Amino acid sequence: MKILVVNCGSSSLKYQLFDMKDEKVVAKGQIERIGDDSLMKHETDSYQQAKVSVNVSDHMEAIQTVMDELTDPKRGVISSAAEIRAVGHRVVHGGEKVAGSVSITDEVLAILEECIELAPLHNPANITGIKACQKLMPDTPQVGVFDTAFHQTMHKKAYLYAIPYEYYEKYHVRRYGFHGTSHKFVAQRAARLLKKEDKHKIITCHLGNGSSVTAVRDGNSVDTSLGFGTLAGLPMGTRCGDLDPAVIPYLMDKEDLTIDQISNILYKKSGLLGLSGVSNDLRDIQAEKKAGNKRAEVAIEVFAYAVQKYIGTYAAAMGGVDAVVFTAGIGENAVEVRKMICKDLGFLGAFLDEEKNQLQGEEADISLEKSKVKLFVIPTNEELMIARETKEIGLGTQ
């Protein structure tokens, strides 16, 4: 049973083809710079292609190019598109109307159109990719898997902002949260490792260039650090994280900034980059810290401290915690940052095993034997989560 997972950006397309019999990736690749000197990379077990130039003017041609590669007599892994039983699409925003993965219908597409103003950079590309697949594979089930859907289980006390209620009613201003597919994947895995798949309290830390922390109780999102947009919560690669709103008009007045200019600062010049003055990449900042750069050292401290605070907050929100999970680029690989985050979690009953913590990029229990709260590193796999959801929604019990 083959399932194709598609992730369309504004000028890119990433794809993975899964054989769901053993959940193995049989082919994967990406097309970059769609519409302008496009480049493609395609990989299978027996074939690995360096980036090559392709003539792709839009997402429709990109999907067709992917299908040509997948069915190519030499480089392909299937004989025809008919072998693809369903297509799963990563979709960023479904607003309040989508509370889970869904089969793509005209009604669902209309909801995605409505949510463009909530995700103007992502939803249009997601819609384009869906329509392209529908046209090329009209008889193949299409499923949307949403970044925001996992967090639709949050209670109003967690997702409402303390601003005039009319803005929620008129404009749907509330906490939505993101990275939901990743949080769901690692939380499910942690629950299995705990042998508590039905009743559990897990805090998942998706730490990368974009970062968020989520409280998961009994498989449901209780609270999450990202909010209406993708600025709130933890400081990220270039995004500011939590910020006193009074700072914004103050800086706009002092620096004579427009809305676009302050937005550019908060989204693209803040976070680890803004604090360190070095880079948005934690690896570069760590190298500078070792060289004696004090701003780099402080940037890492601010990041680790923010994660610590959210872990404590969400343990309180759930009335306890069974496990803390680290995932994504920083979470899976930054040994020293994990150590800094875990250093003061003893009050929760969480104790780090520093020797086990040296592992990078692989699943591990990094807690001491005496630790009442498990500390896990679990590599995320959003594409596999999308494939699983697609199989369940698009094919049911087939």
Which two tokens mark 60?
Answer: 């429709």
CA distance 2 to 398: 12
Which two tokens mark 200?
Answer: 């559990």
Compute the Cα dihedral for 253, 255, 261, 264 and give only its sign: negative
CA distance 323 to 188: 12
CA distance 108 to 122: 16
Contact between 208 and 284 under an 8 Å Cβ cutoff? The reply is no
3-state class of 1 per DSSP?
A: coil
Task: Report the 10 Å Cβ neighbour count for 121.
Answer: 11
Residue labelled with tokens 């193995």: 24
Which of 147, 223, 322, 365 is catalytic? The answer is 147
> Which of 237, 242, 245 minimizes the C-alpha distance to 226?
242
Q: Can 139 be counted among the known catalytic residues?
A: no
CA dihedral 227→89→378→239, nearest 10 degrees, is -30
> Which of 74, 30, 87, 26 minimizes the C-alpha distance to 54?
30
Which two tokens mark 328?
Answer: 């994504």
So which residues are the catalytic ones?
147
